């Protein structure tokens, strides 16, 4: 089985979010970048397929040279090889088209992308990719088993989950639940050393027509001070008369 | 030219998020001086859509679509959009709609934006406000394609009634076998509980509750308020509660009208996930808990004392205000 795991290079979840250049650009100054958490759950599940079923695992990212440490981390976790499409991602469709080109040529059985990146939260790359490849698609996937070309997947739905059967080629929108948080791996020294020798191929991007463009960012209004109630009665009164939510 | 809204139902009954999407669609249609059409798949309450400003309903009735299927649903909605020459298509942020929208975007060569929280800032150029960086910021983004798809955040716009004719027309899209490559074999869903996505009120518990055996407090409070239950990340990581209840940056986002956090200190990742909720209440023993800086109302106190009182007093309040 050939697996492609799509990796987004995103600010760490604890990052303070600021903008520069007239609020048009994210301020990366002092920000630590990581593998998008939704992608990392998928990568870890891919490692399971590699170790238990002999799958090969390739990782791919669309981004500039600054994203290479993130790809190297994925290699240190255990991916076999990496691809970087050398361009700044513009929007979800742009990324999906770059990925689709590589995916078509690579003939993968399984492609795992996170259900969304935690920076732009588009939530569209897995679905677009499945559509561009005419592959089967399971979003918000919290469980996945593959035997031959048959897959059994669990999808999180509003208020529950459902079990699905499908076939490869398959695109997954992954998230926590594909593996448990405690299954995530911290690369060890041997993994880091080996990652340096693994292939990281840099590809030139395809021209893609832009469909959406970011005009400006805004930060939420600063929050007023909390109103502390001294009794449960006072709280209920505040929620009823002032906030009008009960 | 028209505005098309996909009005999702559950067992035929319209979801609240569908009525919200219709309300939002009405407002866009007014701004664009055009009509609002709804597409409904196996819905049994189509007449109700007129109340939320829907001019016409394309009612699809197809046994093949009884179970949700991303590609088949996307294809049906695409055909409705083409029949109606829709230039703006609106979907909610339900789990199913979030599957459909990107597939539909490719099929219609349409620009798609998710997590939209307000009416367009302008129609020409078409610019909307959406959340980004997991609710730590907003982004004003322009869609440049002829057909535009909007995924509306839950509870961002609210329900707005306005009268319209709501004429129902049967519509039969062509369904192709190759759309059905994914089959549902089992569904596991608590039918008696409100889901986090649909809830107006969410009651959430953290490590301060000391163990899963104390979750009766959260459930009882949720029951009084008709609320969904949720939890912080450590609580789901420790297995006290199922993953589906984890709210925050790597869990589910919450955009309820009222969010009550009990025994949750307020890590930045948690606050990001619940930031879209309108009114936040925190109950915590530690007055220095970061959550107090992000909350609207709070009580400094022990959950084991405060919450039982709150349940009792709310029962009285509900009885008096019924």
Q: Clarify whether residues B210 and B171 are in a common domain.
A: no
Between CA A21 and CA B238 the distance in angstroms is: 43
What is the reported pLDDT for B198? 84
Q: Clarify whether residues B174 and B257 are in a common domain.
A: no
What is the reported pLDDT for B29? 98
Looking at beta carbons, which residues of chain A come within 8 Å of B91? none
Q: Clarify whether residues B161 and B281 are in a common domain.
A: no
Any chain A CB within 8 A of the CB of B251? yes
Share of chain B above pLDDT 70, in %: 100
pLDDT at B191 over 90: no
Question: Of the candidates A134, A241, A118, which has an alpha carbon nearest to the alpha carbon of residue B248?
Answer: A118
ipTM: 0.96
pLDDT averaged over chain B? 96
Between CA A205 and CA A195 the distance in angstroms is: 24
CATH number at residue B300: 3.40.50.1220
What is the reported pLDDT for B18? 97
pLDDT mean over A201-216: 96
Q: Are A188 and A155 in contact (CB under 8 A)?
A: no
Instruction: Decide if B198 and A37 are in contact by the 8 Å CB cutoff.
Output: no
Instruction: Decide if B299 and A229 are in contact by the 8 Å CB cutoff.
Output: yes
Q: Clarify whether residues B168 and B32 are in a common domain.
A: yes
What is the reported pLDDT for B322? 76
| Residue B186 placed within a domain | no
As given in the structure block, the two tokens for residue A70 are: 């993130």
Between CA A96 and CA A127 the distance in angstroms is: 9
pLDDT mean over A32-40: 98
Domain ranges for chain A: 2-220
What is the reported pLDDT for A82? 98
Nearest residue of B to residue A172 by CA position? B99
Instruction: Decide if B297 and A182 are in contact by the 8 Å CB cutoff.
Output: no
Between CA A136 and CA A145 the distance in angstroms is: 15
**Which range has the worst mean pLDDT, A95-99, B49-53, B273-277, B298-302?**
B273-277
Number of domains comprising chain B? 2
> Going by C-beta distance under 8 Å and a sequence separation of 6 or more, which residues neighbour residue B198?
A158, A159, B15, B16, B17, B154, B228
pLDDT mean over B196-208: 94
Nearest residue of A to residue B308 by CA position? A232
Any chain A CB within 8 A of the CB of B99? yes
Question: How distant is the Cα of A199 from the closest Cα of chain B, in angstroms?
Answer: 30
Between CA B233 and CA B174 the distance in angstroms is: 44
pLDDT at A245 over 90: yes
**E strand segments, B164-227:** 167-170, 183-189, 201-205
| pLDDT tens for each residue of B214-268 | 999 999 999 999 999 999 999 999 999 998 999 998 899 999 999 999 999 999 9
| Residue B175 placed within a domain | yes
As given in the structure block, the two tokens for residue B81 are: 């959009």
What is the reported pLDDT for B2? 96
pLDDT mean over A52-69: 98
pLDDT mean over A59-75: 98
Instruction: Decide if B137 and A14 are in contact by the 8 Å CB cutoff.
Output: no
pLDDT at B80 over 90: yes
Question: B49-52 long-range CB contacts below 8 Å, 24 or more apart?
Answer: B49/B7, B49/B14, B49/B19, B49/B22, B49/B166, B50/B163, B50/B164, B50/B165, B50/B166, B51/B161, B51/B163, B51/B166, B52/B19, B52/B22, B52/B23, B52/B26, B52/B159, B52/B160, B52/B161, B52/B162
| Residue B79 placed within a domain | yes
Question: Of the candidates A106, A108, A111, which has an alpha carbon nearest to the alpha carbon of residue A141?
Answer: A111
| Residue B291 placed within a domain | yes
Q: Clarify whether residues B265 and B166 are in a common domain.
A: no
Looking at beta carbons, which residues of chain B come within 8 Å of A239? 258, 279, 281, 297
Q: Give the residue carrying structure tokens 């007055």.
A: B287
Looking at beta carbons, which residues of chain B come within 8 Å of A25? none
Between CA B141 and CA B129 the distance in angstroms is: 6
pLDDT mean over B47-58: 98
| Residue B191 placed within a domain | no
Which positions 135-164 of B are in contact with A (Cβ < 8 Å)?
A: 135-145, 151
Instruction: Decide if A11 and B133 are in contact by the 8 Å CB cutoff.
Output: yes
The pTM of the full predicted model, rounded to 2 decimals, is 0.95
What is the reported pLDDT for A59? 98
What is the reported pLDDT for A167? 98
Full DSSP string of B260-277: EEES----HHHHHHHTT-
pLDDT bracket for residue A231 (50, 70, 90): very high
pLDDT mean over A163-184: 96
What is the reported pLDDT for B186? 96
As given in the structure block, the two tokens for residue B232 are: 């912080």
Q: Clarify whether residues B173 and B235 are in a common domain.
A: no
pLDDT mean over A171-188: 96
Between CA A140 and CA A145 the distance in angstroms is: 15
pLDDT mean over B12-29: 97
What is the reported pLDDT for B6? 98
Between CA B274 and CA B254 the distance in angstroms is: 5
Instruction: Decide if B102 and A235 are in contact by the 8 Å CB cutoff.
Output: no
Domain A2-220 falls in which CATH fold? Rossmann fold (3.40.50)
Q: Is B137 exposed, middle or buried (0-12, 13-18, 19+ CB in 10 A)?
A: buried
CATH number at residue B24: 3.40.50.620
C-alpha distances in angstroms, B297 versus B126, B147, B205, B280, B317?
37, 43, 16, 6, 18
pLDDT mean over A61-79: 98
Q: Clarify whether residues B27 and B169 are in a common domain.
A: yes
Any chain A CB within 8 A of the CB of B196? yes
Any chain A CB within 8 A of the CB of B183? yes
Helix, strand, or coil here: A137? strand
| pLDDT tens for each residue of B117-172 | 999 999 999 999 999 999 999 999 999 999 999 999 999 999 999 989 999 999 99
Q: In what order do the strands lie in the sheet with A150-157?
A: A200-203, A81-85, A56-62, A2-6, A110-114, A170-174, A136-147, A150-157, A160-167, B183-189
CB contacts < 8 A, A to B, total 258
Q: Clarify whether residues B232 and B110 are in a common domain.
A: no
Measured at the CA of A103, the angle between CA A100 and CA A108, to 5 degrees, comes to: 145
What is the reported pLDDT for A73? 98
- Torsion-angle region of B104 (φ positive above 0: left; ψ -120 to 50: alpha; else: beta): alpha
pLDDT at B192 over 80: no
C-alpha distances in angstroms, A170 versus A111, B177, B233?
6, 17, 29
Domain extent at residue B239:
201-320
| Residue B74 placed within a domain | yes
What is the reported pLDDT for B236? 94
| Residue B188 placed within a domain | no
pLDDT bracket for residue A11 (50, 70, 90): very high
pLDDT at B105 over 80: yes
């Amino acid at each position: 089985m050939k697996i492609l795991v799509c990796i987004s290079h995103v600010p760490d979840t604890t990052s303070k979010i600021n903008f520069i250049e007239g609020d048009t650009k994210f301020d990366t100054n002092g920000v630590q970048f990581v593998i998008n958490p939704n992608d990392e759950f998928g990568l870890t599940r891919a490692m399971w397929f590699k170790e238990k079923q002999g799958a090969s695992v390739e990782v791919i990212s669309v981004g500039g040279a600054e994203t290479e440490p993130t790809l190297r981390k994925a290699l240190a976790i255990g991916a076999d090889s990496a691809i970087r499409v050398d361009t700044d991602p513009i929007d979800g469709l742009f990324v999906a088209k770059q990925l689709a080109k590589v995916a078509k040529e690579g003939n993968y059985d399984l492609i795992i992308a996170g259900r969304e990146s935690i920076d732009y939260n588009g939530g569209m790359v897995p679905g677009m990719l499945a559509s561009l490849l005419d592959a089967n698609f399971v979003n918000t996937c919290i469980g996945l088993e593959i035997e031959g070309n048959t897959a059994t997947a669990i999808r999180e739905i509003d208020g529950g989950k459902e079990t699905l059967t499908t076939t490869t080629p398959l695109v997954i929108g992954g998230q926590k639940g594909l593996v448990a948080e405690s299954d995530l791996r911290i690369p060890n020294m041997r993994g880091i050393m080996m990652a340096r020798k693994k292939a990281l191929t840099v590809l030139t991007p395809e021209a893609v027509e832009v469909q959406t463009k970011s005009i400006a960012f805004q930060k939420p209004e600063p929050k007023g001070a909390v109103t502390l109630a001294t009794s449960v009665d006072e709280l209920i009164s505040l929620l009823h008369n002032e906030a009008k939510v009960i | 030219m028209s505005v098309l809204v996909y009005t999702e139902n559950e067992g035929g009954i319209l979801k609240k998020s569908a009525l919200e999407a219709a309300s939002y669609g009405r407002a866009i249609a007014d701004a664009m001086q055009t009509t609002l059409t709804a597409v409904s798949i196996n819905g049994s309450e189509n007449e109700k859509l007129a109340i939320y400003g829907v001019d016409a309903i394309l009612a699809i009735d197809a046994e093949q679509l009884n179970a949700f299927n991303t590609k088949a649903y996307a294809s049906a909605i695409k055909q409705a959009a083409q029949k109606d020459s829709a230039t703006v298509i609106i979907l909610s942020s339900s789990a199913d709609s979030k599957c459909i929208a990107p597939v539909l975007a490719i099929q219609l060569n349409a620009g798609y934006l998710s997590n939209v929280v307000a009416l367009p800032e302008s129609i020409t150029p078409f610019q909307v406000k959406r959340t980004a960086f997991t609710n730590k910021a907003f982004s004003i983004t322009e869609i440049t394609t002829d057909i535009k798809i909007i995924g509306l955040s839950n509870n961002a716009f609210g329900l707005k009634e306005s009268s319209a004719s709501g004429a129902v027309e049967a519509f039969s899209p062509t369904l192709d076998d190759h759309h059905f490559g994914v089959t549902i074999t089992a569904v596991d869903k608590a039918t008696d509980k409100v889901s986090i996505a649909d809830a107006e009120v969410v009651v959430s518990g953290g490590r301060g509750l000391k163990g899963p055996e104390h979750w009766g407090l959260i459930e009882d409070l949720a029951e009084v308020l008709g609320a969904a239950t949720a939890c912080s990340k450590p609580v789901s990581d420790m297995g006290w509660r199922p993953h589906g209840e984890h709210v925050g940056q790597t869990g589910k986002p919450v955009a309820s009208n009222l969010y009550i956090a009990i025994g949750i200190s307020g890590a930045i990742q948690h606050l990001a996930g619940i930031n879209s909720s309108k009114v936040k209440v925190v109950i915590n023993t530690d007055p220095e808990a970061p959550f107090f800086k992000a909350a609207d109302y709070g009580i400094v106190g022990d959950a084991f004392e405060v919450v039982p009182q709150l349940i009792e007093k709310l029962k009285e309040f509900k009885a008096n205000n019924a």
